[in-house]
Chains A and B, each alone.
Chain A
């Protein structure tokens, strides 16, 4: 359900104080009960069921036939699945660096403008984050209209000929990356800003006394101290961008020639049109594997042992 939930709240371990009071199984059980029941019924059980189904070929009507790892084999030997995953990685490689760069420039800019301007900027940059992917897809499709679209009209003012943004295999994927960046840049920018504001001002003052220029400060103070924040944004951004579904679904349907057929859309289209269900579930679970590996990496890289350590 919450395909984009990673985007919504991005968090990282915090070095909290470790109070270790007495055991309280009863209170804990009551407090945890709603959470565990809901997760168990609506997430964990469906996951186990999905794993079970993935070993069968099943039309929902005729009895399911056990096929072992055949579905997984079919997925893994399917060049189109490999293509979709590769495309997902390329898409991430477009979206994430741009997003992080935008966030970094934004955060540094906010620090230098007046506080009133800073507030206006912080609020406006976050506004796209509340817009649904459905609406973003609709707006950007109209902006990209070949003849009679806003973007090509604008380019025409400079004598540039109309470009079929969503109709060309080279431009379609970057064209879809733009709304993805647009939606995600608010959260990334604010996290980046938070990290930046946490660097004590005295560091910069000392550096100024030593005669350091703005570039030196940037490379000697800001970037090294922001390393973890940037890493965090890179990795969570990666996990989120690998899961975009509604943008390509509504903007291009995966075309032209699969140029925008991202992993989730690939799986959904198989789910919709296959006569048997095993393939799409196996593909989705393999994607879970990829995401799981990436997520494990998140915790490893931000050295957040505390997060795993209850």
Chain B
């Protein structure tokens, strides 16, 4: 009897071990090649497919290392990455947003790439973008693309229905609010934009610059600047839009999701330039109905920034066992031959921009360049004046996002700004940020 129980335990253990065996991904490396790992955040199907193709091409192009490619859903990325880093199992190479690079560099999570990628490869890159991947004079990522974080898309057909001129998008915030009032019906929202603190924290960076001419912290990160009265107009605009029901009281979709405009559930939409890709691919019959413009400036000056240049870069983990090979992949993919990159920007319907001159030139020669009817407007009216993403801790951005959200929910604007100011001050003290900025 006792033996039968032990046998049962043994059988279970065996089954578990078997199960372990069948799942474990450590197949012997083909031909003695070392293995390095790439984690890519899940984007659209087209982008994911491009990465798959690129990895296969890289594995074919050389025989030193084998690159293992893993796609990680966005909403589990942070958790997974944190846990992997804690256990010393972070991937060798991974995709990361520009805004996170300086923080990672400061805490020693990623390693500088300039010693690993020859100097000649770093030429022809847009200065502001390059600046956003630098920390203490060293480059920690190779910029891949930029996407302005906030562009105004609108439905011309709904403009006409409401008696508005479809060729004349709102030029001031007052106009945007007035248009919104006219466009709002029971089933269609006047405008959709970020509506929660997380989305507002990053999507309004450009508007923060626009409203006050600076971000809510001093350049050297030693003191908060959120109580600048010029920020009131930004919070006021959001408050009016929400309280009057011009923007939906409950988000139709996350900020980055462009579907509501395509489906005609909103007449105007603030979204990143990537929205163009979704609209062109999934709503081709609506393309003629959709117009695009820069967000209005608070003082009417159209040369002030309304967006930041968000975007993605590849970085190498500080503990990577094969840093050179990892950097070689980054260099091969982003700094070498432009064919693959051109394909990337074409696959995403030119809804993103390359910070690298060689790629931009190759794209200009390509006939596909005219496929995105909005690309030129976005480039000339938004990208040209846009700022790089801020390098400070996410918590600082979040503190300001919180202030806008409070305004949205009808709380007192001055109090909201004061609370953000106090919180930023607290964060500076707790994280020793003073003097870390540049």
A and B touch in the complex (CB under 8 A): yes
Q: How far is the CA of A44 from the CA of B103 in the complex (A)?
A: 33
**Cβ contact of B107, chosen from A61, A148, A257, A258, cutoff 8 A:** A61
In the complex, 8 of the A-B residue pairs with CB atoms within 8 angstroms, ordered by the A residue number, are A59-B107, A60-B86, A74-B430, A146-B248, A148-B187, A167-B249, A272-B79, A273-B78
Q: Is A145 an interface residue (CB 8 A)?
A: yes
Q: Which residues of A contact B252 (CB under 8 A)?
A: 146-147
Q: Which residues of A contact B187 (CB under 8 A)?
A: 147-148
Q: Is B163 an interface residue (CB 8 A)?
A: no
Q: How far is the CA of A147 from the CA of B192 in the complex (A)?
A: 13
Residues 392 to 417 of chain B near chain A (Cβ within 8 Å)? 393-395, 398, 402, 405-406, 408-409, 411
Q: Which residues of B contact A60 (CB under 8 A)?
A: 82, 85-86, 88, 109
Q: Could you tell me if B394 and A273 are in contact, using CB atoms closer than 8 angstroms?
A: yes
Q: How far is the CA of A62 from the CA of B248 in the complex (A)?
A: 45
Q: Which residues of B contact A146 (CB under 8 A)?
A: 248-250, 252
Interface string of B1-44 (1 = CB under 8 A from A): 00000000100000000000000000000000000000000000
**Cβ contact of B196, chosen from A145, A255, A271, A275, cutoff 8 A:** A255
Which residue on chain A has the smallest CB distance to residue B83?
A271
Min CB–CB distance B233 → chain A (angstroms) = 20
**Cβ contact of A257, chosen from B86, B249, B250, B405, cutoff 8 A:** B405
Q: Is A164 an interface residue (CB 8 A)?
A: yes
Q: Is B273 an interface residue (CB 8 A)?
A: no
Q: Is B251 an interface residue (CB 8 A)?
A: yes
Given contacts A61-B318, A273-B394, A277-B82, 13 further A-B contacts (CB under 8 A): A59-B108, A61-B108, A74-B430, A146-B252, A167-B195, A257-B406, A271-B82, A272-B79, A272-B82, A273-B78, A273-B398, A275-B104, A275-B107
Q: How far is the CA of A258 from the CA of B403 in the complex (A)?
A: 11
Q: Could you tell me if B195 and A61 are in contact, using CB atoms closer than 8 angstroms?
A: no
Known contacts: A257-B409, A277-B86. The answer to whether A34 contacts B249 by CB under 8 A is: no
Interface string of A256-267 (1 = CB under 8 A from B): 111000000000
Q: How far is the CA of A144 from the CA of B251 in the complex (A)?
A: 11
Q: How far is the CA of A274 from the CA of B103 in the complex (A)?
A: 10
Those 6 A-B pairs whose CB atoms lie nearest each other, nearest first: A164-B249, A167-B250, A272-B78, A59-B107, A146-B250, A164-B250
Q: Which residues of B contact A275 (CB under 8 A)?
A: 103-104, 106-107, 393, 431
Q: Could you tell me if A167 and B251 are in contact, using CB atoms closer than 8 angstroms?
A: yes
Q: How far is the CA of A62 from the CA of B402 in the complex (A)?
A: 31
Q: How far is the CA of A34 from the CA of B78 in the complex (A)?
A: 34
User: Could you say which interface size class chain B belongs to?
Assistant: 35 or more
Q: Which residues of B contact A (CB under 8 A)?
A: 9, 78-79, 82, 85-86, 88, 103-104, 106-109, 186-187, 189, 195-198, 248-252, 265, 318-319, 393-395, 398, 402, 405-406, 408-409, 411, 430-431
Residues 39 to 83 of chain A near chain B (Cβ within 8 Å)? 59-62, 74
Q: How far is the CA of A144 from the CA of B248 in the complex (A)?
A: 13
Q: Which residues of B contact A243 (CB under 8 A)?
A: none
Which residue on chain A has the smallest CB distance to residue B249?
A164
Which of A145, A252, A272 has the largest number of chain B CB atoms within 10 A?
A: A272
Q: How far is the CA of A276 from the CA of B393 in the complex (A)?
A: 11
Q: Could you tell me if B197 and A255 are in contact, using CB atoms closer than 8 angstroms?
A: yes
Q: Could you tell me if A168 and B249 are in contact, using CB atoms closer than 8 angstroms?
A: yes
Q: Could you tell me if B82 and A253 are in contact, using CB atoms closer than 8 angstroms?
A: no
Q: How far is the CA of A272 from the CA of B402 in the complex (A)?
A: 18
Q: Which residues of A contact B430 (CB under 8 A)?
A: 74
Q: Is A238 an interface residue (CB 8 A)?
A: no
Q: Could you tell me if A34 and B107 are in contact, using CB atoms closer than 8 angstroms?
A: no
Min CB–CB distance B76 → chain A (angstroms) = 10
Q: Could you tell me if A268 and B250 are in contact, using CB atoms closer than 8 angstroms?
A: no
Residues 253 to 297 of chain A near chain B (Cβ within 8 Å)? 253, 255-258, 268, 271-277
Q: Could you tell me if B409 and A256 are in contact, using CB atoms closer than 8 angstroms?
A: yes
